């Protein structure tokens, strides 16, 4: 049975933690579904994790949709959410709806996510939901707004009123869940308790309804990048590097391909 937005609401009502990761390709999505994650976010973090950019601001809509299609194919029974990149919803409600439609019709996503809870973002959320598309909200640290805020800054209690106002505006607009990013733990916990929709944390402490991480980061594929909130569950970069070096050496030494790796003529069989 396919997981959907209602399964997240049910988990919150039961006090069960929600598990999520990003994915950008078919194979990773397939493994995440097998591992039992509750939803997969095709994040605009792809700009950094896959394309090596310094920020998420260069994420391309067409590329995001193409990768969403690959993830949807790999995890057909898991809730897949397409992350609307910078520039894909700022101009107007109609622009936002048109691009959200593309995530579902072309990318196979089940829902979309967009950042912010100001009046503009809330208007976009309402318009998209009114078109029949579920929306996940995002408050706290907003990677698409770092030019405005001056960098990746944790949200502390001095911004409580603004944070709560935005989160509840999004809830009122009809989002099915909200990502809380880069927020002081107790503040995030307080907000989570007051929200009726599930709150998914990344760098927001232990008291949210669930957690999400960038899959490349938690698998140890992001070099020296290791913010405080990140836990690496594997160190795949060293494993992959060893395999690549072994392959290179075997080719140079004539060890690969070996007898077991070649095709012979029918007469030699």
Classify strands 111-113 and 18-22 as parallel, antiparallel or unpaired. unpaired
- Residues contacting residue 101 through CB under 8 Å, at least 6 positions apart: 131, 133
Which residue, among 48, 11, 7, 39, has the nearest Cα to 223 in the 3D structure?
48
Rg value, the chain, Cα:
21
| Of 88, 79, 156, 161, the residue nearest 121 (C-alpha) | 88
Contact 94, 78 (CB under 8 A): no
181 is catalytic: yes
Kindly give, in sequence order, each residue whose CB lies less than 8 Å from that of residue 234, ignoring residues fewer than 6 positions away: 218, 219, 220
Using alpha carbons, select from 39, 41, 63, 40 the residue that is nearest to residue 51. Answer: 63
Distance CA 92, CA 81 (A): 21
Between CA 224 and CA 218 the distance in angstroms is 12
What CA–CA distance (Å, rounded) separates 47 from 53?
6
Is the CB of residue 61 less than 8 Å from the CB of residue 89?
Answer: no
Q: Cα(220)–Cα(216) distance, rounded to whole angstroms?
A: 6
Indicate which residue of 115, 166, 181, 184 is catalytic.
181
Residues with catalytic annotation? 181
């Amino acid at each position: 049975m396919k997981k959907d937005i209602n399964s997240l609401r049910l988990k919150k009502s039961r006090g069960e933690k929600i598990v999520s990761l990003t994915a950008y390709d078919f194979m990773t999505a397939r493994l995440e579904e097998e591992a039992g994650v509750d939803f997969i976010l095709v994040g605009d973090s792809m700009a950094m994790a896959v394309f090596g950019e310094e920020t998420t601001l260069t994420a391309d809509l067409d590329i995001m949709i193409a990768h969403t299609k690959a993830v949807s194919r790999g995890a057909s029974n898991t809730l897949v959410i397409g992350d609307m990149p910078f520039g894909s919803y700022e101009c107007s409600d109609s622009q936002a709806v048109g691009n959200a439609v593309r995530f579902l019709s072309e990318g196979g996503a089940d829902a979309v996510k967009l950042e912010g809870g100001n009046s503009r973002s809330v208007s976009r959320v309402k318009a998209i939901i009114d078109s029949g598309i579920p929306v996940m909200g995002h408050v706290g640290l907003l990677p698409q707004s770092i030019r405005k805020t001056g960098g990746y800054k944790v949200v502390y209690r001095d911004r409580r009123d603004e944070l709560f106002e935005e989160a509840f505006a999004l809830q009122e607009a009809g989002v099915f869940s909200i990502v809380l990013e880069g927020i002081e733990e107790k503040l995030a916990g307080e907000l989570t308790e007051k929200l009726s929709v599930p709150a998914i944390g990344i760098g927001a402490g232990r008291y949210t309804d669930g957690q999400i991480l960038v899959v490349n980061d938690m698998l140890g594929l992001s070099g020296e990048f290791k913010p405080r909130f990140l836990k690496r569950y594997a160190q795949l970069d060293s494993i992959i590097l060893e395999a690549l070096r072994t392959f290179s050496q075997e080719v140079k030494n004539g060890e690969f391909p070996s007898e077991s790796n070649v095709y012979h003529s029918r007469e030699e069989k």
